[in-house]
Amino acid sequence: MATKKILIIEDEEDVQELLRYNLCREGFECEIAGDGDLGVAKALSISPDLILLDLMLPEIDGLEVCRKLRNNGQTDTVPIIMVTAKSDESDIVAGLELGADDYITKPFSPKVLVARVRAVLRRKKKEKAKQDEIIRIHGIEIDPGRHKVKIAGETVNLTSSEFSLLRFLASRPGWVFTRYQIVDAIHGNDYPVTDRSIDVQIVGLRKKMGDTGSCIETVRGIGYRFKEY
Ligand code: CA
């Protein structure tokens, strides 16, 4: 397994050292940022595998850092473990709602810290594997990792929105979705997604899929469903 890079965003030197020492000893590679702005900048430049984020930081606080990391496409999926004082319960809740993955309270035992880091990395790896799982149904092969679709072994070229649409429907065969639910689930990058544009895209998608396009069924008055059998 490749060495995992951990970014420590923490202003107190003794805590920085404690974190760094214990993580390095376990084979992790550590980078330190002493304040929030530097933390965000480093997160962008070094692409860490995980971020340990102190919530009590000078200038911009940890929650703001968390928000910035989650709002940037480059860092929005990097796991974040908040490091905080026990008394900061409302901050912990706010942080989790902003998309942090876990938290650890000071003072922490090094063993617990390392266990938490490993657990979060494991969880993310599993999630990612699931996201990248190839969907095979009715002769269609959808490869989310490579962003490719094949029908009966032939590659079909789809736009990014068409791909998301097909993947969304095909991953839940038999379920009926309203246009609104579909709009909500897929965020088109190449197309402003509205409920009307879903209809247009379905037409385009079916056409590209040829006969197999009939797998996408219109449910009158409700929305769409991917054929289950
Ligand atoms: Ca601090």
The amino acid that residue 143 corresponds to is D
Ligand 1 center–CA 83 separation, angstroms: 9
**In angstroms, rounded to a whole number, what is the distance separating the alpha carbons of residues 70 and 110?**
27
| Dist. CA 19 → ligand 1 center (Å) | 13
Q: How far is the CA of 12 from the centre of ligand 1 (A)?
A: 5
Same fold for the domain at 5-127 and the one at 135-226?
A: no
- Residue 190 pLDDT > 60, yes or no? no
Task: Please provide the size of the chain in residues.
Answer: 229
The pLDDT value given to residue 192? 63
Model confidence at 191: pLDDT above 70: no
Amino acid at 107: P
Write down the pLDDT at residue 1: 59
> How far, in Å, is the centroid of ligand 1 from the Cα of 196?
49
- Tell me the backbone φ, ψ of residue 173, rounded to 5 degrees: -60, 140
CA of 55 to the centre of ligand 1 (A): 7
Report the C-alpha gap between 31 and 24 in whole angstroms: 10
CA of 125 to the centre of ligand 1 (A): 29
Class of domain 5-127: alpha beta
Residue-wise pLDDT tens digits, 70-127: 988 889 889 999 998 877 788 888 888 888 999 999 889 999 999 999 999 998 888 8
Decide: helix, strand or coil at residue 76: coil
Task: Provide CATH code, domain 135-226.
Answer: 1.10.10.10
Hey, CA dihedral for 33, 35, 38, 44, is it positive or negative? Answer: positive
* pLDDT tens, position by position, 56-74: 999 899 999 999 999 888 8
Q: How confident is the model at residue 210 (pLDDT cuts 50, 70, 90)?
A: very high
| Domain locations along the chain | 5-127, 135-226
* Side-chain half-sphere CA neighbours of 136 within 13 A: 4
Confidence of residue 185 (pLDDT cuts 50, 70, 90): confident
CA 79 to ligand 1 centroid distance, Å: 20
Rounded distance from Cα 133 to ligand 1 centre (Å): 40
CA 56–ligand 1 middle distance (angstroms): 4
Name beta bridge partners: 30. 6
Token readout for 177 is 């979705």
Distance 57 CA to ligand 1 centre (A): 5
Q: Is 174 in a helix, a strand, or coil?
A: coil
Q: pLDDT at position 49, please?
A: 96
Mean pLDDT (whole number) for 32-56:
96
123 Cα to the center of ligand 1, angstroms: 27
pLDDT band at 148 (very low <50, low <70, confident <90, very high): very high
Element housing 99 (H / E): none
Whether residue 189 has pLDDT greater than 70: no
Q: What is the pLDDT of residue 154?
A: 95
Other C-beta atoms lying within 10 Å of the C-beta of residue 201:
22
What's the 54 CA to ligand 1 centre distance in angstroms? 6
- Using the mean position of ligand 1's atoms as its centre, give its distance from the Cα of residue 62 in Å: 9
User: How does the average pLDDT of the chain come out, rounded?
Assistant: 90
Q: What pLDDT does 200 receive?
A: 92
